[in-house]
Structure 1
Amino acid sequence: MDVQPVVVGIDGSSTSRDALVWAVHEARLRGAPLHVIHACPHPTYDPVFAGGFCLPPIVLEEEETDVALDCAGDLVRETAPEVPVETWACRGTATSVLLDQAQDGAGLVVVGSRGLGAAGALFLGSVSARVAARSTVPVVVVPPGTEHTTAGPVVVGVDGTPHSTAAVRAGAREAAVRGAPLELVAAHLVPADLLVSPLTPPVDLRSAYVERAERVVGEAARTARALGPHLEVRTHVVEGLPTDAIAQVAGSTASLVVLGSRGHGLLTGPVLGSVSQSVLHHATGPVMVVHAQD
């Protein structure tokens, strides 16, 4: 059976170069080919110039794209010559191009967290969030300066939703291939009862939230252990916001953080909605986003 390729989007920025280097090492880890993609926006019309329209310099754009792809291919071959690599340019927006690649059989899509493209168009940043939210396959968002490592644990935020279960399954696979521990994190935030105290919730209410978080993370641990009986699985129940809880457990040592794409949780609310976007925004290491159908 053919191994699904790792797809990485580049735009000539240093941020996309960091994503490319990370993707090279990830492809080698998975024994997968690497597809390097550069998105070329369609010509646009500008009513201010040229009597109603103005086409960008296509020849120059193509030359810049060729240089970017050639440099990317050289970097891949220098870093991991055993990784099969293909490079090509695709017409369309970065979001649409990468989503098309995901639908065409990619196993993983890798993007940088932000960056201004060499052709002068915004490639990443908002693009990374859109691709992560809509991709049918897992997406890894790589912050600037990230180095690929398998030494740290894989950290998964859980909340009991189907998207969370998908994240647990993906996290278990990633931990197994890395030979790393799997850290499962459930956050709970107890609302204060202003009729009792403006600051401290009743003890029984706090206990109920803790017990529910423990049930959720316990079920997630059983799911992970069923997928990998030899996995080292650790569970964490943290009082506070999910973003803070994940950051606390991940620290600076996690090799990967895995999140479900979205969903209203049993514990504290949206997982990718606001929480995942906050994690992506503040992450200092790679973050994988998965969907329930994964």
Structure 2
Amino acid sequence: MSGGDEGVGSGGVGDAAQRSRGAVVVGVQEAGESAPVVRWAAAEAARRAVPLRLVHAEQFPFGADAVGAAWAGELTDQLDREALQDLRELAQLARATAPGLDVRTELVHDHRRHALLRAAEAACLVVTGPGRGAGALGELLLGSTSLFLVAHVPCPVAVVREPPAGTGQEGAGGSGGAGVVVGTDGSCAARAAEHFAAAHARATGQELTVVRAWCAPAAGRHQAHEQAREQAREDAGRGLAETVRRVREGHPDLPVRQVLVQDPSPAAALLTAGAGARLLVLGSRGRGAFASALLGSVSHEVLHRAGGPVVVVPDARRRQPGWGPV
């Protein structure tokens, strides 16, 4: 079922959670497609000193009644062999990225969403790629599985796109790149993201940039409009200053930069500030059975359009104990 060598199974809820306890869990598919995701996740697991668990989930859309028992069995075996080979290659890649890393692999016959949701129950971080078909239009075609995980998983979820060559974004640790960028609006969801981003920036030796967008009120009488506009700017500035004060209080040695920008689209402001960043962090307001529908519009747009790794952090209503170090 699981462990240092790959296995095949259906995956029970309790067993899956136990195998993932404290681990970085990665949803993988073909080796070539998943290689950038595994490299990023391996570096992150090594930094946290936790196991890396590679999960390949495949639900076969056929049965013996439809195609004949012998043919279905042969095809299933062939697909299993290909998946296990992908897992072996990806495990080797992870160990090459982070020598000495505890890498565990598992092939599960189940819907990918269900398998990863079970595996995430006790994980400290779930990592996935943007999904098949992202290609040149990745900002429009983020996979439904990635969106589902961000909306439902009770721990932070990283969606990793391969960064452009030469940006200095390769891997999760080390120096270089534009640091860690986090968006804030003063909400509970934003505070959870601030905590994650500050801890990650400090642990990886990066600068933290805190971004807050504000929007001018609708036009009215000139004097009243100018007063309302100035009030909106001052309120946002005070909120940003309070966030930075709170971050510096918890991480006094962390270099923190603050960006206050007038933009009716917080997502656009965050994407602009985070262009070239090693990591972009934001909160999620998704919750309950309808979490995917309630995933914040800012989170949704950033996930679709970001060019590099993005971590979405759930707020306290979904957060589970035992995230482990960030």
Q: Which amino acid aligns with 1:243?
A: A
Does residue 1:95 correspond to 2:113, yes or no?
A: yes
* TM-score between both structures, scaled by the size of structure 2: 0.76
**SS of equivalent residue, structure 1 residue 202:** helix
**SS of equivalent residue, structure 2 residue 190:** helix
**SS of equivalent residue, structure 2 residue 189:** helix
Aligned length: 272
Cα distance, 1:226 vs. partner? 2.6
Residue aligning to 1:273: 296
**SS of equivalent residue, structure 1 residue 35:** strand
Cα distance, 1:201 vs. partner? 8.7
Residue aligning to 2:181: 155
Residue aligning to 1:259: 282
Superposed CA RMSD: 2.8
Cα distance, 1:191 vs. partner? 3.5
Given candidates 183, 199, 202, the residue that maps to 2:209 is: 183
Aligned counterparts of 2:124 and 2:29: Cα–Cα separation in 1: 21
Residue aligning to 1:285: 308
* TM-score between both structures, scaled by the size of structure 1: 0.84
Does residue 1:111 correspond to 2:125, yes or no?
A: no
Cα distance, 1:85 vs. partner? 0.5
Cα distance, 1:204 vs. partner? 1.1
Q: Is the 2:156–2:314 Cα contact (8 Å) retained in structure 1?
A: yes
Kindly tell me: are residues 171 and 4 of structure 1, through their superposed partners in 2, closer, same or farther at Cα, counting changes over 3 Å? same
Kindly tell me: are residues 50 and 80 of structure 1, through their superposed partners in 2, closer, same or farther at Cα, counting changes over 3 Å? closer
Percent of pairs identical after alignment?
Answer: 35
Q: Which amino acid aligns with 2:29?
A: D
Aligned counterparts of 1:18 and 1:257: Cα–Cα separation in 2: 17
Give deviations 1:238-267, integer Å, cap 9, x for gaps.
111111211221121x1111110127xxxx
Given candidates 245, 260, 271, the residue that maps to 1:237 is: 260
Given candidates 218, 221, 227, the residue that maps to 2:244 is: 221
Aligned counterparts of 2:247 and 2:30: Cα–Cα separation in 1: 38
Gaps of 5+ in 2: 1-20, 134-141, 165-169, 287-292, 320-326
Give deviations 1:73-95, integer Å, cap 9, x for gaps.
11122222221111111222222
Q: Is the 2:27–2:54 Cα contact (8 Å) retained in structure 1?
A: yes
Q: Is the 1:188–1:213 Cα contact (8 Å) retained in structure 2?
A: yes
Cα distance, 1:145 vs. partner? 4.1
Give deviations 1:133-186, integer Å, cap 9, x for gaps.
111111110013462254232111001111111001111111111111111111
Aligned counterparts of 2:294 and 2:202: Cα–Cα separation in 1: 24
